[in-house]
Amino acid sequence: MSAFLEVKNLSVAFPTEDGIVQAVDSLSFSVEKGKTLGIVGESGSGKSVTSLAILGLQKGSKARVSGEIWVDGNEIISASEAEVRKLRGKAMSMIFQDALAALHPYYTVGHQIAEAYLVHNDVSKKVAATRAIEMLDRVGIPEPHKRVNDYPHQFSGGMRQRAMIAMALSCNPSLLIADEPTTALDVTVQAQILELLRDLQKEFGTAIILITHDLGVVAETADDVLLMYAGKQIEYGTVRDVLQVPQHPYAWGLLTSIPRLTGDPNLALTAIQGAPPSLISVPSGCAFHPRCTYVDNVGTACTNIIPELIPVSEGKHHSVRCHMSAKVRQDIFANKVEPQL
């Protein structure tokens, strides 16, 4: 039996004046119902582009999308806009990064939620309006029967994000993609929203893709993690594996460079040198090589050959894209990285 969402070799490129932007490059992953996949990567690593591809939202644009995306047995990339439209909102829906921009400024929050419900449900406007109030109540908006008539700008940041969630969940979708749902929010509100997502998932068995650049959010919410760098998937596995026995030098760098609430605060953070690459001229070989401190362990392959995504050990659901041999990686991890975690 295959997973609810199955992505195979997804690539997305944008032809631009400066050249071709390879925003996403051969991504493969799957998400089952009731599970959460965290996609992590820094700004510009291709997270949002991936999520838009799953909803088929690049259809009709200049983007070149290739590979396969299976949602509940339907292939998205080869499907027509009309076919994908039937899946949007019901089989899969999305919460966008910037809730203020993603809501229509001229329609009330209630209208926008009701509209989403009406697409897939043959009911009267009145029933849909009741559903909107019910959804707002469900996501914890106080006095929903009053706030349903507010416009998005009358909501606070946290409430707008809740309204987005209410809208996305109004048709009980089986897959929910949340693109940095809490990045713009305060930690106390972020905690509320993440808890809400967890509760709703428990109740409806939704499959969730949670996009973030915060490893803490992933640790608290996700079952699996996919780590992206310059459009490629460089490490993929369960949260426990990837955060506790990370395999890729970039993952090591991230985990040792983030400030934490535990451990000795007087020790200097181990920063990753350099800056993320431009997607128009991605470094040859392993895209991370200009910033990697372990190139010497491999030699010229790092700069010449793009590493394959290989399982960390035979048959394990934990894979990594790095030329270093498993043995060398284990050694470095045990001696240099683990003591800092």
Partner 1 sequence: MTSVNNPILSVQGLTKHFPGGREGLIGKRDVVQAVDGVNFEVAAGEALGLVGESGCGKSTTGRLITRLLEPTAGTVTFEGQDISHFSNAQMRPIRTQLQMIFQDPYASLNPRHTVGTIVSTPFKINKVTPEGGVKKRVQEILEIVGLNPEHYNRYPHEFSGGQRQRIGIARALALRPKLIVADEPVSALDVSIQAQIINLMKDLQKDFGLTFVFIAHDLAVVRHFAQRVAVMYLGNIVEIADRDTLYATPKHPYTKALLSAVPEADPDATGARERIRLTGDVPNPINPPSGCRFRTRCWKAAEICAIEPPALLQIGKTQVACHFPE
Partner 2 sequence: MLKYTLRRVVSGTLVLGIVSAIVFAIFYILPSDPARLACGKSCTPELVARIQVALELDQSLPVQYGRFIKGIFVGRTYLENTDAARECGAPCLGYSYQTDLPVTELLVDRLPATLSIAVGASILWLLIGLSSGILSALRRGTWIDRTSQGFALAAASLQIYFVGLILQFIFVDKLAWLPMPGYTSPFDYPLDWAKQMVLPWVTLAFLLSAIYSRLTRSGMIETMGEDFVRTARAKGLSSRDINLKHVLRAAMTPIVTVFGLDLGSLLGGAVITEYVFNIPGLGKLSTEAVTNLDLPVVTGTVLFAAFFIITANIVVDLLYSALDPKVRLT
Ligand X SMILES: Nc1ncnc2c1ncn2[C@@H]1O[C@H](COP(=O)(O)OP(=O)(O)OP(=O)(O)O)[C@@H](O)[C@H]1O
Question: Does residue 86 interact with partner 2 by CB under 8 A?
Answer: yes
The strand ranges marked E within the chain are 5-16, 19-31, 36-40, 64-71, 74-75, 92-95, 175-179, 207-212, 224-229, 232-238, 310-311, 318-320
Q: Lay out the site mask for partner 2 across 278-307 (x = CB under 8 A, - = otherwise).
A: ------------------------------
- 109-120 and 157-169 are packed helices; what angle lies between their axes, rounded to 10 degrees? 10
Distance (Å, whole) CA 267 – CA 185: 29
Least Cα distance to 46 among 310, 243, 269, 233 occurs for 233
Least Cα distance to 176 among 166, 189, 188, 191 occurs for 166
Q: Determine contact, residues 129/114, Cβ cutoff 8 Å.
A: yes
Pick 69 or 148: Cβ nearer partner 1 = 148
Pick 20 or 305: Cβ nearer ligand X = 20
Q: Which stretch binds ligand SF4 (CB under 6 A): 76-84, 121-129, 146-154, 283-291?
A: 283-291
Pick 45 or 112: Cβ nearer ligand X = 45
Question: Does residue 242 interact with ligand SF4 by CB under 6 A?
Answer: no
R_g of the chain computed on alpha carbons: 21
Q: How far is the CB of 230 from ligand SF4 (least distance, A)?
A: 11
Distance (Å, whole) CA 185 – CA 71: 30
List the one residue from 31, 40, 49, 196 that touches ligand X (CB under 6 A).
49
Pick 194 or 302: Cβ nearer ligand SF4 = 302
Side chain identity at 20, as an amino acid letter?
Answer: I
Side chain identity at 324, as an amino acid letter?
Answer: M
- Residue 289 contacts which entry, partner 2, ligand SF4, ligand X, none (Cβ below 5-8 A, type-dependent): ligand SF4
- Residue 57 contacts which entry, partner 1, Mg ion, ligand SF4, none (Cβ below 5-8 A, type-dependent): none
Tell me the residue length of the chain. Answer: 341
- Residue 328 contacts which entry, Mg ion, ligand X, partner 2, none (Cβ below 5-8 A, type-dependent): none
Q: Which stretch binds Mg ion (CB under 5 A): 19-27, 40-48, 149-157, 216-224?
A: 40-48
Question: Does residue 147 interact with ligand SF4 by CB under 6 A?
Answer: no
Instruction: Write out the two tokens for 129.
Output: 């309006």
Question: Does residue 21 interact with ligand X by CB under 6 A?
Answer: yes
Which helix (H) or strand (E) segment holds residue 153: the answer is none
List the one residue from 12, 39, 76, 87 that touches partner 2 (CB under 8 A).
87
Question: Does residue 159 interact with partner 2 by CB under 8 A?
Answer: no
Q: How far is the CB of 215 from partner 1 (least distance, A)?
A: 4
Q: Could you count the other beta carbons within 10 Å of the beta carbon of residue 31?
A: 23
What does the angle CA 138 – CA 193 – CA 140 come to, to the nearest 5 degrees? 25
Side chain identity at 85, as an amino acid letter?
Answer: R
Kindly identify the residues of this chain, within the stretch 99-128, that bind partner 2 according to CB under 8 A.
Answer: 101-107, 115-116, 119-120
Distance (Å, whole) CA 329 – CA 318: 14
Kindly identify the residues of this chain, within the stretch 246-275, that bind ligand SF4 according to CB under 6 A.
Answer: 248-249
- Residue 307 contacts which entry, partner 2, partner 1, ligand SF4, none (Cβ below 5-8 A, type-dependent): ligand SF4
Question: Does residue 294 interact with ligand SF4 by CB under 6 A?
Answer: yes
Q: DSSP label at 334?
A: I
Contacts with partner 2 by CB under 8 A lie at 52, 55, 57, 81, 85-90, 93-94, 96, 98, 101-107, 115-116, 119-120, 151, 153, 167
